[in-house]
Structure 1
Amino acid sequence: MSVRVVVADDQELVRAGFSMILDAQPDIDVVAEAGDGEQAVAAVRAHRPDVLLLDIRMPVMDGIEAARIVCAESGCRVLMLTTFDLDDYIYDALRAGASGFLLKDVRRDDLIHAVRVVAAGESLLAPSVTTKLIAEFTTRTPARPLAPPSERLAALTAREQETLRMIARGLSNAEIAQAMVVSEHTVKTHVSNVLTKLGLRDRVQAVIAAYESGLTVPGACD
């Protein structure tokens, strides 16, 4: 079954180039293109794609708002496009529900891989990159009251909270298993429980939840 994709970018050549690369793959089908945020939302509503490749900076409606609407209304996974690897909008995009981001000068093979990874339900960012990114933007985000961990994370067991803390530190499942002295299968179960109980899509949102709940803070190493 093909991965259905909508490509949204206000630059026609970029949009057409990405669409051509993706549509050439036997397991990927570009079902629509969009030139602004409103068109992107409309395309997702009309075509129900698996993945929306979405530029952060878009006319009419910006990519952040478009991502927020798409993630709230559907199960479509959002993969953001940006010009710089530490774009000021990336943290907001991830909080809106995006599953990761790509630079616009991404290599062909990396673009294809990213779409497949996100369509499979995973976050695009490697754990180490996730930690660096979220820590960077958490420190830039204006301070606001955070619910004590006991309130936000009350549904989690002690082991699940420990797992979430390690996810926020950027540890892989194998590294978490080693630290907790359990099997990787057990860790996968803990991760799945964390995502389900907190209503999160992937590990990227789990990192954000860990910071925003007060369970961990940028720069924490314990």
Structure 2
Amino acid sequence: MQGFYSAKQSKDKPAFSVIKGSFAVVSATALNVRSGPSTKNPVLKVILKDTHILPLSSPKHEWLKIRIPKGIKGWVAKKHVKIYMPKPLSVFKVKPASMPFTSLLEASISRYMEEMYIQKRLKPVDKLFIVVEDLTTESYVVSIRPRQSVKSASTIKVPILHAFMIQRFRGNIKEPSKYERQIEEMIRFSSNPSTNTIIKLLGGPKKIQDLLNETKIYKE
């Protein structure tokens, strides 16, 4: 029976074409997350009722592959979960205590990454590191590997633009229109040479950091 199940499952289309954008919530009092689609497989973790999880496989079978926090993946009996389509993020005023993701936005990002892996558009070594903070409440909306240190990429160019605008409004940049082309190339086309020109104009990385620190918006 187990062999028949595995053979049949392998013919299914990728999970995202079946339950794209959906989530699931545990309906049982407690539910075992197993290493494979069978009660013979060892239990990886026990999750409680009303815990929200991310489905990774087709709901057509008795077992559902899922993802829970900290990157743990496993299998649960489908009869003990309820699959649902979430409402827009703005509808949720308070995050349920049982929700394992920081927000539905974070869950959606995780689902998108899983889809990229399935489509082989990303390699297993490609990892996402992202933190999104609501500056009005100082709470995290997305927190995926928040403690991992990585080199800043093109996103750093937005704060550089912010520093440029600070100096412009203070009148510290003479003839700012001379740098419109570099600003446009830096933001629209991620031009590194143009970015270096603006960094040099502003006095270097330390000066830019000092300007940004004054705003009290940016945090490590």
User: After TM superposition, is the score higher than 0.5?
Assistant: no
More strand by share: 2
More helix by share: 1
Rg comparison, structure with higher value:
2
TM-score bucket of the superposed structures, by smaller chain: under 0.3
Which one has more relative contact order, counting CA pairs under 8 Å at least 6 apart?
1
TM-score (structure 1 length as normaliser): 0.27
